[in-house]
């Protein structure tokens, strides 16, 4: 697999970069997974998106059209005996990892918080061009444990994998990538939604057992995605007057859901 350039304030380790897929860089025998152990500290530079969180940048060369699974798993801090006694009073501190991917020009192409299973981040990314992409390891928020050790893995996904459960996750990752690029002002990112729809349709045709998960992702694509019309909501206001959300189309609406249990 490809090699990596690792930057840190403590020092510089340079490994000559090569295109992902170079057999000379295979790890653990025949496994095609690139793995690196890293650590975020308070002395690392702040991330430009998660401004209160430190970042480490790992450069990785990808081939146009190839799909890569990038995952960041944080090592969770151990509780001290004094903290264990107060665990019922305080919420546990966790290292909530966050991933971003930029191209070599610094354009933000993808972000993720918990797709690797909370609190781990995962992005399934299709490289739009041959490039040295910047894999940015950071944290969701300094309100949690915003520093700590982590494991970053990068591997190329096979077409067979993407025709199964991983394809469902890929559809959701494409949706989130569209949102990240749309919010950064990219007007040409709509193709990601079309690709997500096509991926989910193809997976559904070959995997009837994944129908429930696919329908959930298709619903999110249609109703829960930035820039797309929200789902219809009907109800009564505090005065008993019936209303529909579509009555307020084109206006800024604040929706407050609450209840008693």
| Residues facing residue 244 across a β-bridge | 234
pLDDT in tens, 92-122: 588 999 999 999 999 999 999 999 999 999 9
Q: Give me the pLDDT at residue 204, please.
A: 97
The CATH number covering residue 80 comes to 2.60.120.380
Q: Are residues 120 and 223 in the same domain?
A: no
Q: What is the mean pLDDT of the chain?
A: 85
What's the angle, vertex CA 153, arms to CA 152 and CA 154, rounded to 5? 130
Q: Are residues 4 and 25 in the same domain?
A: yes
In angstroms, the CA 14 to CA 3 distance is 10
Among 152, 128, 170, 149, CA closest to 57:
152
Please report whether residue 123 resides in a domain. Answer: yes
pLDDT at 24 over 80: no
Please report whether residue 186 resides in a domain. Answer: yes
Please report whether residue 245 resides in a domain. Answer: no
Q: Are residues 113 and 221 in the same domain?
A: no
Q: Are residues 140 and 58 in the same domain?
A: yes
pLDDT at 14 over 50: no
Q: Are residues 127 and 172 in the same domain?
A: no
Instruction: Single out the residue in 105, 133, 157 at which a domain terminates.
Output: 157
Among 111, 107, 140, 106, CA closest to 125:
111
Domain that holds residue 8: 1-157
Q: Give me the pLDDT at residue 78, please.
A: 78
Q: Are residues 140 and 202 in the same domain?
A: no
Please report whether residue 244 resides in a domain. Answer: no
Please report whether residue 216 resides in a domain. Answer: yes
- The pTM (predicted TM-score) of the whole model is 0.79
Please report whether residue 249 resides in a domain. Answer: no
Residues 6+ apart with CB under 8 A from 173: 110, 112, 115, 122, 123, 124, 125
Q: What percent of the chain has pLDDT over 90?
A: 66
Q: Given pLDDT bands bounded at 50, 70 and 90, which one contains residue 178?
A: very high
Q: Are residues 182 and 210 in the same domain?
A: yes
Peptide bond into 119 cis (omega under 30): yes
Q: Pick the more confident residue, 28 or 206.
A: 206
Q: Give me the pLDDT at residue 12, please.
A: 34
Q: Given pLDDT bands bounded at 50, 70 and 90, which one contains residue 215?
A: very high
Q: Are residues 148 and 163 in the same domain?
A: no
Lowest mean pLDDT, pick from 131-145, 155-169, 185-199 = 131-145
Please state the rounded mean pLDDT for residues 47-62.
Answer: 96
Neighbour tally for 82: CB within 10 Å:
7
Tell me the torsion sign for CA atoms 179, 200, 72, 33. Answer: negative
In angstroms, the CA 128 to CA 110 distance is 12
Q: Give me the pLDDT at residue 82, please.
A: 52
């Amino acid at each position: 697999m490809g090699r990596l350039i690792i930057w840190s304030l403590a020092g510089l380790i340079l490994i000559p970069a090569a295109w992902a897929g170079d057999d000379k860089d295979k790890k653990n025998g025949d496994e095609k997974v690139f793995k690196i152990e890293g650590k975020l500290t308070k002395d690392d530079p702040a991330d430009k998106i998660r401004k209160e969180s430190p970042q480490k940048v790992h450069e990785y060369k990808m081939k146009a059209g190839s799909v890569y699974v990038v995952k960041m798993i944080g090592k969770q801090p151990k509780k001290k005996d004094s903290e264990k006694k107060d665990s019922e009073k305080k919420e546990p501190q966790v290292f909530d990892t966050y991933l971003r991917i930029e191209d070599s020009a610094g354009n933000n192409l993808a972000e993720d918080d918990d797709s690797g299973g909370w609190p781990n981040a995962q992005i399934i990314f299709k490289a739009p061009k041959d490039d040295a992409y910047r894999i940015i390891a950071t944290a969701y928020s300094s309100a949690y444990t915003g520093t700590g050790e982590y494991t970053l893995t990068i591997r190329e996904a096979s077409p067979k994998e993407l025709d199964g459960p991983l394809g469902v996750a890929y559809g959701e990752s494409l949706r989130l990538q569209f949102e990240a690029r749309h919010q950064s002002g990219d007007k040409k990112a709509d193709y990601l939604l079309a690709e997500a729809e096509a991926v989910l349709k193809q997976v559904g045709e070959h995997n009837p057992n994944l129908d429930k998960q696919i329908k959930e992702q298709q619903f999110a694509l249609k109703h829960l995605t930035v820039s797309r019309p929200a789902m219809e909501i009907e109800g009564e206001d505090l005065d008993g007057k019936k209303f529909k959300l579509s009555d307020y189309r084109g206006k800024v609406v604040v929706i407050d859901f609450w209840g008693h249990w």
